[in-house]
Amino acid sequence: MNPILNTSADKFPYQLLIDPPQSGAWNMGVDEALLELAASAGIATLRFYQWSEPTLSLGYFQSWQDRAQHPASRKAALVRRSSGGGAILHDRELTYSIALPATHPFSQEPQRLYGITHEVIVSVLRRSLAANGRLELFCEGNSQSLQEPFLCFQRRSPGDIVYLESTSGNFAETHKIVGSAQRRRFGAVLQHGSILLKRSPATPELPGLEDLCGTSPGPDALARELLEELPNRLKIAVFLGLLSPLLTSRATELCEKKYSLAAWTCRR
């Protein structure tokens, strides 16, 4: 896979990063460095990545003490995201991030970015799994109480990707498969999200695609399939890149001086 930069006037150039599994602190440091790069230098990035060990990421506004609500994930590594939402157990999944500068049209329409990205993921998964109508965008109003579940994948918000499980021919239960969150900075936007491929022992209550469908694409194969459709829908042209020395230095700084520290993780 070696996408070539296309400089046509109707497409916005992106750098593409496909990273090996890394720690939670490093992954969050890279995502924040990419958001800073988009805000300061106008460089957009599409990134696919994984996690080197089961890691629970807290949403920005969550209390770290709420981790006690979920005993099964207590032994997992812990990190706090810069984006909001519920806690996510990152294990058997593919994670993506999109960083857009203020000059990209979708940075001014964050809900459109969210919707289009999820529409592409649904399309690709349906084609890959022959899941037909069982994979849908959740569109009901948010009827949950003010006390939301601790885990993101037990919450439901419009635009989430859910799998509809049928009982006696009737769709009876929804299982969240993809959830995403955003963070903005000086007009730039970062969107990152998780695609749950298989149940993790640290979240036994959350089935993944393989558990529900009997099969699922591997993370590398899924990233390749998404690259066939996502750039066109987002009006971008991607070229394969690497973390530059400057970006690596900034990501390392954020990893060591922010995301690895209890002062950040336990700040709420």
Catalytic residue numbers?
152
CB 197 within 8 A of CB 219: yes
Distance separating alpha carbons of residues 175 and 214, to the nearest angstrom: 15
- Look at residue 42 and give its three-state secondary structure: coil
Q: What are phi and psi of 157, to 5 degrees?
A: -135, 150
CB 242 within 8 A of CB 13: no
Instruction: Give the integer Cα–Cα distance in Å for 153 and 169.
Output: 24
Dist. CA 9–CA 53, nearest whole Å? 42
Task: Classify residue 239 as exposed, middle or buried by CB count within 10 Å of its CB (0-12, 13-18, 19+).
Answer: middle
8-state DSSP, 101: -
Cβ neighbours for 84, distance < 8 A, ≥ 6 positions apart: 59, 60, 61, 181
Report the C-alpha gap between 162 and 138 in whole angstroms. Answer: 6
Structure tokens at 89: 């157990």
How many other CB atoms sit within 10 Å of the CB of residue 105? Answer: 12
